[in-house]
Structure 1
Amino acid sequence: MKKIHIIGLGLLGGSFALGAKKKLADLTITGYDANPQHQKDALTLEIISEAKETPDADTDLVILATPADTLGDLLLATLDQVGPNTLIFDVGSTKSKLTNLVAEHPKRAQYLAAHPIAGTEYSGPKAAFDDLLDRKVMIICELEKTDLHLKEKAYELFEALNLKLRFMDPEEHDRHLAFVSHLSHISSFMLGETVLQKMADEKNIFDMAGSGFASTVRLAKSSPAMWAPIFTENQENILSALDSYIANLSSFREKIAQKDKEGLFNEMDEINKIRDILDLEK
């Protein structure tokens, strides 16, 4: 593999570039970002060697790392542009719409539906770093629909970055992500909003904010430009997750209202079992 082109030079796109440059020799990485400052920063930080809107004809891999609601049109346009030896993969948080969109495309075999479970609360090329993807999970959907020889180009990159591959159905992916990722971000944003509203009346509230608050609200520092499209693209699954979450909050509130100490203890004690599950996943 000699050439990679990245569209979207933020945290994920930039980190793919930096990680690839660190692990793969004689690699040329070009890229494009609709934000002129991001593109300038990517050049300054040597994330890319050249800024260009479209990939060269002999590009091995094109990585699409733009907001979720832009990926559909971008994927179709890029498939139409590339030659027969180029593989495209995206890193978006939703997969069903994309896989359905390209299901009948004549170049469907040149697309790999992928999603790295990696990120921080920061965004933009300045947030990118070469080890972001190290030992992270990369979810692959509909692997069987990607050309056998072209997918080896992606595998070469994934192996170099030390990614752990998992395979899922697109609908299953979107449903599960609504609970374990998207709902987490909504919870963090709403906790942040609730405290900010309280701060309007009580200026010293943040003096009492300890590590528990900081860790819980950390995700509220995430980019709205990234997350607003994810919430709307995965609307049906997120609404289902929110309904369950709100029902649980209402039930917990009722126990507090009734001073049901035993009920509160038993519920939290049961939830504590998540500790064992998370420890096994490490």
Structure 2
Amino acid sequence: MKNVFLIGTGLIGGSMLLDLRSHLKDATFYGIDKDNSHAKRAVTNGIIDKVAVMGDLINADLVLISIPVDATLKVLPQALDLVPENALIIDVGSTKKAICDVVSKHKNRRQFLAAHPIAGTEFSGPDAAIKNLFQKKTMIVCEVEKTAFKLQELAKELFEILGMRVRYMTPAAHDRHIAYVSHLSHISSFMLGKTVIQEEENERDIFDLAGSGFESTVRLAKSSPAMWTPIFAQNKQHVLDALDGYIENLSRFRESVKNNDHKAIFEDMEQTNRIKTILKGIENGK
């Protein structure tokens, strides 16, 4: 593999390249970004070797697309039009059905692998990229059967370099499940932060009184709105279903507080405590 291209030189793609560089020692790493200052910063940070443009994809062996999902709908077909016949394109977007659908009939569909790494931080841009971000994390792969077998094997090798375990899902199943375990948590964080800002007029009070619990709960509210708005838009129905369930639970909890139903409050929290066991299993790689 000689020429590796990254479209979108931010946290996820940048972190991938930082890990891949140590194994693909003979490759040259290129970055394409609509924000030229990001691309230059990626060179400075050692993520890429050179800044490139879309037309350069005619020389690509591997292309990683790590941009907002609405932009991927436009860029992915363009990339498939340009790459050589043996090149592999992987996208890492947080929605999958719309992205898979947009290239379902593309003549080079077999050169594309739809993926989503379950990893990240609340930060964005090339300065946010870090090594070993993906160790022991899950890479969800969708419609693997539509990717050429030789390129499936190449992708598997890359994911092993990153230290990831692979789980296969349909795009529809991915989008439904991820709405609950990822998209809803981001919405909750954003709206909790908004509520506190609205109700606590004195920012100093927030700073002085907020403990680690508040800080950890609103951590995701630092995430990029430019990235998350199109995710919510593309996964609209599943996000609405997740919100309906969440709002129903909040309303029930509110009624318990209003009616001094301390038994119901206790039981709700006690039942939810089993999340500790679930998350412990995830931490142990089960």
Query: 1:236-275 to 2 correspondence within 5 Å?
Result: 236-275=237-276
1:17 aligned onto 2:11? no
Please identify, of 222-231 and 175-184, the stretch whose mean Cα deviation from structure 2 is larger: 222-231
Could you say what secondary structure the match of 2:150 adopts? coil
What one-letter code is carried by the residue in structure 1 that aligns with 2:8? G
> What is the aligned-residue identity percentage?
51
**Residue 36 of structure 1 aligns with which residue?**
36
1:60 deviation in Å?
A: 1.6
- For structure 2, the 5+ residue unaligned runs are none
**Residue 136 of structure 1 aligns with which residue?**
137
What one-letter code is carried by the residue in structure 2 that aligns with 1:178? A
Please identify, of 137-146 and 267-276, the stretch whose mean Cα deviation from structure 2 is larger: 267-276
Q: 2-side partners of 1:242 and 1:50: how far apart?
A: 43
**Residue 94 of structure 1 aligns with which residue?**
95
1:203 deviation in Å?
A: 4.6
Q: Confirm or deny: 8 A CA contact 1:178 1:237 kept in the other structure.
A: yes
What one-letter code is carried by the residue in structure 1 that aligns with 2:66? A
1:97 deviation in Å?
A: 0.7
Q: Confirm or deny: 8 A CA contact 1:3 1:61 kept in the other structure.
A: yes
**Residue 122 of structure 1 aligns with which residue?**
123
Q: 1-side partners of 2:220 and 2:265: how far apart?
A: 27
**Residue 229 of structure 2 aligns with which residue?**
228
1:102 deviation in Å?
A: 1.3
Q: Confirm or deny: 8 A CA contact 2:61 2:84 kept in the other structure.
A: no
Could you say what secondary structure the match of 1:281 adopts? helix
What one-letter code is carried by the residue in structure 1 that aligns with 2:128? A
Could you say what secondary structure the match of 2:149 adopts? coil
Q: 2-side partners of 1:281 and 1:101: how far apart?
A: 33
Could you say what secondary structure the match of 1:23 adopts? coil
Structure 1 stretches of 4+ with a deviation exceeding 4 A read none
Structure 1 length-normalised TM: 0.97
1:202 deviation in Å?
A: 7.3
Q: 2-side partners of 1:75 and 1:170: how far apart?
A: 16
1:39 deviation in Å?
A: 1.0
Q: 2-side partners of 1:187 and 1:72: how far apart?
A: 27
1:151 deviation in Å?
A: 2.0
Q: Confirm or deny: 8 A CA contact 1:67 1:92 kept in the other structure.
A: yes
- For structure 1, the 5+ residue unaligned runs are none
Q: 2-side partners of 1:137 and 1:42: how far apart?
A: 25
Q: Confirm or deny: 8 A CA contact 1:60 1:153 kept in the other structure.
A: no
Query: 1:180-195 to 2 correspondence within 5 Å?
Result: 180-195=181-196
**Residue 157 of structure 1 aligns with which residue?**
158
Instruction: Show CA shifts across 1:129-155 (max 9, x none).
Output: 121112211000011110011222222
